[in-house]
Amino acid sequence: MSQSTRRAPNLRRYLLQGIAVIGPLGLTVFVLVWLFQHVDGLLGQWLHPVLGWSAPGIGALLLLIILLVVGWLVERTIGSRLVGLGERLLGRVPIVRRLYGGSSRIIRAVVGEEKMAFREAVLFQYPREGLWSLGLVTGRAPSPAREVLEDDGVTIYLPTAPNPMSGYLIIANRKDVRRTNLSVEEVFTYVLSAGAVSTERAAQILETEADGVASGTGTTGDA
């Protein structure tokens, strides 16, 4: 075997290792640059003609100042009253009420103003018995659903691979849901990688639950 032939597997391994290191870093930089450009462009496109000169980041800086000022005003009595008045006015417009109400709850949950939307990671059999899906409990089942369920029921967000930001909303009996000790981050990583990146805990949990179902046992927890 020639020396060049022996080096081929090493070169391939080096290339894959380089991709594994540079790939995530490059993707992170790309996303950050994309976010910066779009945030900067929100106000920058209006500021540049007025000022007569262009400076990267001035739009993002002005937006940050506006957010800080608005947040400071909301902390004051008059600011909170104005916000409450504005929300009541928006609540009287049918279409705007739904859009504003939904977006407000989502943003408050993301920034921590409200209780965390995703409570815990669970396993449940979907789309049929024998096939396990990994989802995130978001709350109790709505009242109409509880009337037909065997128990109180839970609402589960089932993220889709490889984009966990889209998914399905599942309503299930509480007794059919298996609690896990996986974190929300682990679930999103697992889904984002389409199962390629997993944890030993996830594999053990899936194996344990499968064995429990086969034997007629299993751990059902309150969600």
Q: Where are the domains of the chain?
A: 120-215
Instruction: State the chain's mean pLDDT as an integer.
Output: 77
DSSP string, 68-127: HHHHHHHHSHHHHHHHHHHHHHHTTSHHHHHHHHHHHHHHHHHHTSS--S--EEEEEE-S
Calpha distance 222→217 (Å, rounded): 16
Question: In the chain, at which residue ranges do the beta strands (DSSP E only) sit?
Answer: 120-125, 132-140, 154-159, 167-172, 178-179
Q: Give the right CATH number for 120-215 from 3.10.20, 2.30.30, 2.60.40, 3.40.50.
A: 2.30.30
Most confident stretch, 45-59, 85-99, 165-179: 165-179
- Per-residue pLDDT band for 158 (boundaries 50, 70, 90) equals very high
Query: For the segment 102-127, what is each residue's pLDDT rounded down to a tens digit?
Result: 677 666 655 555 555 677 889 999 99
What share of the chain has pLDDT > 70, as a percent? Answer: 77
**Surface-to-core class of residue 189, CB atoms within 10 Å of its CB (0-12 exposed, 13-18 middle, 19+ buried):** middle
Kindly state the average pLDDT of the residues 183-188.
Answer: 82
The residue assigned the tokens 């059902």 is: 220
Provide the pLDDT confidence category of residue 217 given band limits of 50, 70 and 90.
low
117 and 156 Cβ atoms separated by less than 8 Å = no
* Pairwise pLDDT comparison (217 vs 7), residue with the higher score: 7
